[in-house]
C-alpha cells in the first residue's frame, strides 16, 4: 500500500531524512515515533505531497512518485486524508461546513455533501454538534471535526501528525480509539507521535525515527 524505497530529503544541503525504507500494508494502522526534529512531519509531508523526495522513490497504492504525471497529482492527494495537531478549522464556519469544505471545492452536489458529511460526523460521534462552531468546542471535539473532515472524501490513507499534541491524556487515548474504529473499516492509518503512551499495548507496528534515520521498529 505504502512503500518508501531509499528515500532521502535535504534542506539547504542538510540531511533531514536519510535513506528511509519501509512498507505499510493495506489496511494497517501503524505509528511513527521519535523525538522532536527526528523527521516525522517531513516524512508525512512526502506522503501527501507537501514535499518531494530528493532521492529514492515512494509508492502509494498504484502511484509511484518517481513517475507521477501532473494529472495524477490531484488524484493521489484526493486519496489521502491528513489530520494535524492544531486542527486547522475555520472558526467562522460551522462544524458541518468545515467538514463539507473539501467536497464543495471538488464541486460535489449538495445532496451528496449532506449525506457524506452526516456520515463522517456520525463516524466521529459528533452529529449532534453539526451546527456548532469550533470556538465553543473542546480540544477533543475540534480534533474529531478535523478527523471527520479528513475522512469525508473516503480516502484510502489517513495520515495524522501529532494529532493528540494539544489534548489532555484521557482525550488523547479517546482519539486513538477513534482512529482504531476508522481503521477497522479498512482505512490505512499512519500516526506520527512522540508520546509512547499512545501506542503502548496497542499491538500496532511502531516505526522509530531518530535524526532523520529509521533506526528500527517494534510492536506497541
Residue-wise pLDDT for 133-155, tens only, equals 999 999 999 999 999 999 999 99
Please write the tens of the pLDDT for every residue from 66-108: 888 989 998 899 899 999 999 999 999 999 999 999 999 989 9
The pLDDT value given to residue 200: 87
- Per the CB < 8 A criterion, the answer to whether 99 and 81 are in contact is no
Portions of the chain given CATH number 3.40.50.300: 1-79+157-220
Strand 205-210 relative to strand 213-219, pairing: antiparallel
Across the range 168-187, mean pLDDT stands at 94
Q: What is the mean pLDDT of the chain?
A: 94
The pLDDT value given to residue 13: 84
- Closest by alpha carbon to 189, among 204, 201, 200, 174? 204
Out of 2.160.20.10, 3.40.50.1100, 3.40.50.300, 3.40.50.280, select the CATH number for domain 1-79+157-220: 3.40.50.300
The pLDDT value given to residue 156: 93
Handedness of CA 97, 151, 192, 201 (dihedral sign): positive
What pTM does this model have? 0.94
Q: How confident is the model at residue 33 (pLDDT cuts 50, 70, 90)?
A: very high
Amino acid at each position: 500500500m505504502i512503500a518508501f524505497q531509499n528515500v532521502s530529503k535535504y534542506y539547504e544541503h542538510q540531511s533531514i531524512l536519510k535513506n528511509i525504507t519501509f512498507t505499510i500494508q493495506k489496511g494497517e494502522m501503524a505509528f511513527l515515533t521519535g523525538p522532536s526534529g527526528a523527521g516525522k512531519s517531513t516524512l508525512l509531508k512526502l506522503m501527501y505531497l507537501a514535499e518531494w523526495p530528493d532521492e529514492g522513490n515512494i509508492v502509494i497504492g498504484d502511484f509511484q512518485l518517481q513517475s507521477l504525471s501532473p494529472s495524477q497529482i490531484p488524484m493521489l492527494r484526493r486519496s489521502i486524508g491528513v489530520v494535524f495537531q492544531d486542527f486547522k478549522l475555520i472558526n467562522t464556519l460551522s462544524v458541518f461546513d468545515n467538514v463539507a469544505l473539501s467536497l464543495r471545492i471538488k464541486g460535489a452536489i449538495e445532496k451528496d455533501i449532506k449525506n457524506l458529511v452526516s456520515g463522517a460526523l456520525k463516524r466521529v460521534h459528533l452529529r449532534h454538534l453539526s451546527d456548532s462552531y469550533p470556538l465553543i468546542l473542546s480540544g477533543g471535539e475540534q480534533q474529531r471535526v478535523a478527523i471527520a473532515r479528513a475522512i469525508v472524501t473516503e480516502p484510502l490513507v489517513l495520515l495524522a501528525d501529532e494529532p493528540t499534541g494539544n489534548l489532555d491524556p484521557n482525550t488523547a487515548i479517546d482519539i486513538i480509539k477513534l482512529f482504531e474504529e476508522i481503521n477497522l473499516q479498512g482505512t490505512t492509518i499512519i500516526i506520527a507521535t512522540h508520546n509512547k503512551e499512545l501506542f503502548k499495548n496497542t499491538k500496532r507496528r511502531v516505526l522509530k525515527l531518530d535524526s532523520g534515520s529509521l533506526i528500527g521498529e517494534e510492536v506497541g
